[in-house]
Structure 1
Amino acid sequence: MALLKKGDIAPDFKGLNQNNESISLADFKGKKLILYFYPKDDTPGCTAESCNLSDNYDAWIAKGYEVVGVSPDSVASHKKFAEKYGLKFNLIADTEKEILQAYGAWGEKNMYGKKYMGVLRTTYVIGEDGVIEEVFEKVQTKDHTNQIIKSLDLG
């Protein structure tokens, strides 16, 4: 499926977080949500992105936003990752890649001329009404918070 775009209705999702609790899009009704898709727990880029969002989590909450990460890693992997770095938000284990596919964040990648299927690092900002307000396909992993703030003019 192609990437969703600004103005699209965010597809509903349901998955288990790092504490084996069910999390769905409906849980965030009436809230703004930063939903980010990343390839793998505890890898350099994914750690930088997750820690940047977590380090600024209180500021996101103050601005009315919740943050949720999604990757194809297991609940156990997410638990270890979240504990190791003190991540303050939910990480959803999408081992079947259903959420990734619904959001167009699973697709063909190309590294050193080799094509393979994988996670397309993407972030969606979803409004209280469930409509996508912004899409980030070129994520600045080390400074993603400021990238989002500048784009949404929240500064």
Structure 2
Amino acid sequence: MQAGDMFPHFVLQDENGEKVDSDALRGVRYVIYFYSKDNTPGCTKEAVEFTGLYPKFMLRNVPIFGVSGDSPETHRKFRESQGLKVKLLSDPDHALAKEVGAFGTKKLYGKEVVGNIRSTFIVGRDGVVEEAWTNVKAGGHAQKVLDAMLSHFRDDEPMEF
């Protein structure tokens, strides 16, 4: 999946077991990032950094969704323990991750493993991917996403309050 591609339709459960349907996001720009597992060092760092910048994303009404194969219950505990603001979605069979190219073989501590590949997408109001990053490093990535997201706004486009 790259910039210019239509982001696929999805319906996934959030940390509260409620369904998030991408059809309901039409007309809203959003960030969706894929990570391996709740409560792991890199994934925690990324989620905490996105949470720290969350108010800046929300000034432009841009929600952030993190996606992994973890259950809604595990997501809820992760969110609570870290004070996260981002919404966490459960993709237990990795269907969405596979569809967007965020699942496959990767190196983890020198070993090859199969799982989610840290990837992030900014999806425009029309459902088209505006920016795409794959195989990213957790530290500092949220700021890069924020900077790219802001570049998609016109100067005359109002901020949300």
TM-score where L is the length of structure 2: 0.87
Pick the aligned partner of 1:122 from 116, 119, 125. Answer: 119
Question: Which ranges of structure 1 fall in alignment gaps of 5 or more residues?
Answer: none
**Residues 71 and 27 of structure 1, relative CA distance in 2, 3 Å threshold:** same
CA RMSD of aligned residues (A): 1.8
Pick the aligned partner of 2:54 from 34, 53, 57. Answer: 57
**Residues 112 and 64 of structure 1, relative CA distance in 2, 3 Å threshold:** closer
Question: What is the rounded CA distance, in whole Å, between the counterparts of 1:131 and 1:87 in structure 2?
Answer: 27
Q: Which residue of 2 aligns with 1:37?
A: 34
Question: Which ranges of structure 2 fall in alignment gaps of 5 or more residues?
Answer: 154-161
Q: Map 1:73-152 onto structure 2 (within 5 A).
A: 73-111=70-108, 114-152=111-149
Q: Which residue of 2 aligns with 1:8?
A: 5
Deviation digits for residues 19-60 of structure 1, max 9, x if unmatched? 000012112111111000000101111001001111111110
Q: Which residue of 1 aligns with 2:43?
A: 46
Contact map agreement 2:117 2:135 (CA 8 A) in 1: no
**Residues 38 and 13 of structure 1, relative CA distance in 2, 3 Å threshold:** same
**Residues 20 and 153 of structure 1, relative CA distance in 2, 3 Å threshold:** closer
Percent identity between matched residues is: 34
Deviation digits for residues 86-130 of structure 1, max 9, x if unmatched? 111310111111111111111112346643311110000000000
- AA partner of residue 52 (structure 1): E
TM-score where L is the length of structure 1: 0.90
Question: What is the rounded CA distance, in whole Å, between the counterparts of 1:138 and 1:115 in structure 2?
Answer: 14
SS of equivalent to 2:4: coil
**Residues 47 and 80 of structure 1, relative CA distance in 2, 3 Å threshold:** same
Contact map agreement 1:140 1:147 (CA 8 A) in 2: no
